Structure formats: C-alpha cells, structure tokens
C-alpha cells in the first residue's frame, strides 16, 4: 500500500497570521527544504521550486543561494538543479542526539513490529495544533500499511490524536478543539465534542487509544503515549494496520506488546516507574 | 582525546560579499541552527542565541519564531529556551536517502575501523572552499582521536584536502589555492604552492594522500577518494590517528584496507570498475 492516499497538507503556515513576528525569507527557506525533501521529489530547477512553493522567483533565488552557501541545499551546475544538502544530515544527527527519547523510541519500534506485524510509528507534537510522523518501522510482511515520515496531521487526528489530547490539561484540550475542531474525515469520525471528550476519558483510563477508520477509510490505529514524569505525552507510538483484519484479540495483543515496550522506554529514559497503573 | 583542540570556524559567511544574492534572515536562520546543534550547546535563550551568533535581538526573535512554526527549532515555554527541532530529523533522513553514496560510505566506515583501529571519517566538499565531516566511526580502543561530525575545514587542509584537490581540474586547483592559500597550521604544513602541486601529482599517482602533522600537531591522516565515473572526488574517506604511532607499515596496511573498501563502495554505487586503477 502506498502513502499517497494518506496525504495531509504539510505544516499550515500559521505564521502568516502574525506577520510582525515572522521572517518571510525563513518561511520560504523552510518551504524549499520541505519541498526538496519530499519523497518523490528529486533535484529541481529554480523555476520548479518557486512554482511548487508559490514563491517569487527572485526571492526564491536569494533563499536558495543562501541555503547553498550553508550546505543546506546542493547545486549541480551542469543540470542547474538544487537538491537537499549535506549539512541537513549533520543537523538531523544532532537533533537526534539531543533528543534521547527520540533515539530510544525509534530504536524500539522494530520490537513492536516484530510482535505485532503491524506498521509502527513514532509521532511528536510539533506545535499547538499538529503532530508529525518522526520515525517508522514497517513489517516485512505484505501487504502492509506504509506511511511517510515527515507528514504532519491535525493534533486531533486518529488514535495518535486521542493520545496527545487525553494526557493534556482540560483547558488546553478545549482550546485545541476550538481551534481545529473535529473534522469529518470518514463516516466513523467522532465529530461531537462531548462524545470526543468522553472518549478521551476512556483513553486515559485504559492507557491506549483505538481508531478504526475514524481518520482514514480502511485503516486502524492503536496508540500508546510515552508519558514523561509529569504525565504529559509529547511522543505517541502507534501501530497501524488494515481495518478489515482487526479483531478484539489483535487489539489486545497489540496493546500489550506496545505497553510493554513503552514501559521499557520510560524506565530507560526516566528511571524505574512506579508499580502502579 | 577530545575534538575541542581541532576546532575550525564553521562555514565562513561568504554570502556577505554579494549582498544582492542573499537572504539575510536565512543566513541568521542557518547560523541559529548551526549554533543550537553544536555538541556542547543545549537549549538556549533568545539572548544567548542572538549574542552567540551576533544577530540583532528582534531579527533573531522573528527567525526563531518562524523556525519554530516549521518545527525546525523547539521551544520550551517554561524555561523560555530554544533547541533543535524534530523536523530536522526528518530532513536529515531525507538528505541521507537522496544521497545513496553517503549511505553506502557511512555504512562501510565501520569496516575500515575494524581493520585499522583508527578513527574513520567521511568528508564531503560543501562549497568552493570547504569540506565538512559528514560521518565518522571511532574505534572502541582507547586512547583514540575523536573528531566532530559537522565541522568544516578549508578545502586544502590535511590529507582530505590533498585528495579533494588531486582529482580536480588544474585550473580549479589554481583558483582554490588563490582564494584560500596554503596556511601554516603547523611546522610541517606545506605552504609552497609548487611543492603542494608536486604533492598532488604524487597523490593522484599512488591513489591516496598522507598528512603527518601537516594540519594538526600530533595527528596523522590517510585519505582515499571515492571517485565518481568522471574521476572526481566529491567524497573522501580518511583514517585518523596519533602521529607518534604511525609507521610505514601502518600506512601501508591502512591504505590497503581503505582502498579495498573504497573500491567496493564504488562498485556498489557505480557498477563494476575496470580492473586497472
């Protein structure tokens, strides 16, 4: 299965609402990097890039020139095309190193896949209203659901969303719901705020969230939070599979495999956890 | 051993010479990312960051705000500090994927370390006048030389530099030498252009470059190029060790281990090579 059907917009440009606090050229730079790093995007010309990101040609040229001087993009003078630059590799490695949790969790996704034979995903909240897929591990078995690292989604979407919100302050949950609402993605999406809040209570109680076709038709997700010592979930791990194959016993075995790994991760990063819950 | 003694400036801001082609805010953004990703730099406040990179406070704020909206930096509201953001991990992974050579070479550095017990480094030319350490693999044995991924150096520096220049067009070599010269790093640095050009001829002839304390006191490097089908070296691999331990037989065995791996890499990426060399 391909991820193209699971596409959402990338980060919505929220900064446009508060122009006094933004650096427009940096927004263009971020858009350039996000575009060039797309999975089906190889090296591209200036015209391709400025068209794709909807930026003025000469602004785009100056941004590319500056990114190039910093090795954040590469330029091939014979083809006159730009591509992602080597210094991004360095920055990415540093970002990983400085995020111990990321490294620990990403390393353990394979264990979950081994137990569940489902696609395992690590998601992180990246701003007030979105989370992104930071890392994934897919089973060797075919067919399986394939997802795209780097994709962003509204914070309330799917089983991940329920996990992020379930361990948030009620006041913040209300703000998030007010800002992004509960869109109808499928026939099974929960769009009623009261019903959604009741669902969040249940999620917090049982320690995991399930979404069967609530976000994408044909897909189910089971999500478990990686709780920090304050019981907040900046990271959520999810197992994703085909909805027509899900059964109560698959949910139960998936939850138990994921919870085991999540507890090991938490113990490794924050020290032993209380023998409660 | 620590890398702090091996420090060079990061990318010199060449763009400042041609202001009409640059996006100053993007330069600030690149400086912010480079600063925050430094090995001894953790989360930092706005004041720390703007002081460190020498940028105007309000410009810096707008740049940070925009980087944050794009998940390129993270912000902790309780400490009011910024750190490298999760989307850098995604961009780094994409940059790796789009650079097959990088992945293949980085994977094989460990094989070189296993044979040589020396630190192995992958360097890439990133602009006209510099190369950076893209990846490294260090031996378990202590003491050993430790280097820092992400550091940049003048294109002529050390054994890497000789490799980059040896497989360059003579016209381009002259331009590089004119722009950055041959600085005296140590008593053993080659600073005479004719002597350096003679050295480059020798390097091209034997297929590897040696520098014993020419760049850093106490350090030797042996470098081998990863030649593309046009016989250009965008990537160079180097084995680095303590100069007081180097012997002709160590040089010979290191060169033969590195050449074997380099040939395997070239065969894997570009197909079988001619049985000549």
Domain termination site, one of B91, B126, B161: B91
The answer to whether residue B172 sits within a structural domain is yes
For chain A, the domain total comes to 2
Claim to verify: residue A134 and residue A186 sit in the same structural domain = yes
Q: Spell out the per-residue pLDDT of chain A, length 277, in tens.
A: 333 333 344 454 444 445 568 899 999 999 999 999 887 778 999 999 999 999 999 999 999 999 999 999 999 888 999 999 989 998 998 888 888 888 889 989 999 999 999 999 999 998 789 999 999 999 987 788 888 888 889 999 999 999 999 999 999 999 999 999 999 999 999 999 999 999 999 999 999 999 999 998 889 999 999 998 888 898 999 999 999 889 999 999 999 999 999 999 988 888 765 544 4
Per-residue model confidence as pLDDT tens digits over B147-165: 888 888 999 999 999 999 9
Domain identity same for A61 and A163: no
pLDDT tens, residue by residue, B75-130: 988 899 999 998 999 899 888 888 888 888 998 999 999 999 999 999 999 878 99
Q: Are residues A60 and A108 in the same domain?
A: no
B260 touches chain A (CB under 8 A): no
Are A89 and B96 inside 8 Å of each other by CB?
Answer: yes
User: In terms of domains, do A12 and A44 share one?
Assistant: yes
Q: Which long-range contacts (CB under 8 A, 24 or more apart) does B30-35 make?
A: B30/A66, B30/A67, B30/A70, B30/A72, B31/B55, B32/B60, B32/B63, B32/B64, B32/B67, B32/B73, B32/B82, B33/A91, B33/B67, B33/B72, B33/B73, B33/B84, B33/B88, B34/A70, B34/A87, B34/A91, B34/B10, B34/B150
B180 and B155 in contact (C-beta within 8 Å)? Answer: yes
Strands (E) located in A118-259: 119-125, 130-137, 152-154, 209-212, 219-227, 233-242
- Indicate the residue of B33, B99, B127 with minimum beta-carbon distance to A69: B127
Dihedral (C-alpha) B250, B252, B253, B254: value to the nearest 10 degrees? Answer: 80
* Neighbour tally for A54: CB within 10 Å: 9
Shared domain for A41 and A160, answered yes or no, is no
| Structural domain boundaries enclosing A234 | 99-270
Query: Do B88 and A65 lie within an 8 Å CB cutoff?
Result: no
Give the one of A30, A71, A98 whose C-beta lies nearest to B127's C-beta.
Answer: A71
A261 plus A140 within the same structural domain: yes
Give A148's contacts in chain B (Cβ within 8 Å). none
Phi, psi of A273, rounded to the nearest 5 degrees: -95, 155
Q: How distant is the Cα of B40 from the closest Cα of chain A, in angstroms? A: 10
Q: Let me know whether A114 and A57 are in one domain.
A: no
Q: Give whole-number Cα distances, B188 to A262, B216, B218, in Å.
A: 55, 9, 11
B242 and B220 housed in the same domain: yes
The H-assigned helical ranges of A117-247 are 158-166, 170-180, 193-206
SS3 B168: coil
B89 touches chain A (CB under 8 A): yes
CATH number where A7 lies? 1.10.10.10
* Final residue of a structural domain among B48, B65, B91: B91
User: What tokens appear for B241 in the block?
Assistant: 């060790």
Identify whether the C-beta of residue B197 lies closer than 8 Å to the C-beta of residue B168: no
**Is B276 inside any structural domain?**
no
Taking an 8 Å cut-off on Cβ atoms, the answer to whether A95 and B86 are in contact is: yes
Average pLDDT over residues B9-18: 46
Answer yes or no: is A94 within a domain: no
pLDDT in tens, A191-242: 999 999 999 999 999 999 999 999 988 899 999 999 988 888 989 999 999 9
Rounded Cα distance between B232 and B169, Å, is 9
Model confidence pLDDT, tens digit, residues A160-177: 999 999 999 999 999 999
Query: Which of B59, B91, B123 finishes a domain?
Result: B91
Q: Are A49 and A63 in contact (CB under 8 A)?
A: no
């Amino acid at each position: 299965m391909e991820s193209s059907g699971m596409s959402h917009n990338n980060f919505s440009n929220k900064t446009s609402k508060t122009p006094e606090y933004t650096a427009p050229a940096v927004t263009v730079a971020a858009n350039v990097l996000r575009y060039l790093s797309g999975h089906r995007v190889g090296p591209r010309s200036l015209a391709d890039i400025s068209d794709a990101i909807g930026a003025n040609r000469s602004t785009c040229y100056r941004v590319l020139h500056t990114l190039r001087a910093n090795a954040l993009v590469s330029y091939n003078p014979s083809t006159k095309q730009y591509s992602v630059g080597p210094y991004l590799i360095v920055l990415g490695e540093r970002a990983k190193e400085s995020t111990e949790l990321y490294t620990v969790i990403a390393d353990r996704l394979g264990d979950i896949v081994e137990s569940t034979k489902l696609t395992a995903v690590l998601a992180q909240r990246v701003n007030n209203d979105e989370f992104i897929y930071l890392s994934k591990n897919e089973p060797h078995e075919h067919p399986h659901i394939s997802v795209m690292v780097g994709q962003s989604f509204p914070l309330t979407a799917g089983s991940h969303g329920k996990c992020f919100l379930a361990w948030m302050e009620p006041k913040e949950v209300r703000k998030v719901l007010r800002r992004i609402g509960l869109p109808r993605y499928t026939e099974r999406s929960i769009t009623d705020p009261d019903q959604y809040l009741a669902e969040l209570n249940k999620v917090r109680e049982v320690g995991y969230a399930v979404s069967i076709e609530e976000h994408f038709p044909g897909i189910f997700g089971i999500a478990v939070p990686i709780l920090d010592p304050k019981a907040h979930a900046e990271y959520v791990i999810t197992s994703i599979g085909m909805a027509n194959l899900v059964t109560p016993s698959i949910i139960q075995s998936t939850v138990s495999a994921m919870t085991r790994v999540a507890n090991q991760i938490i113990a490794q990063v924050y020290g032993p956890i209380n023998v409660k819950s």
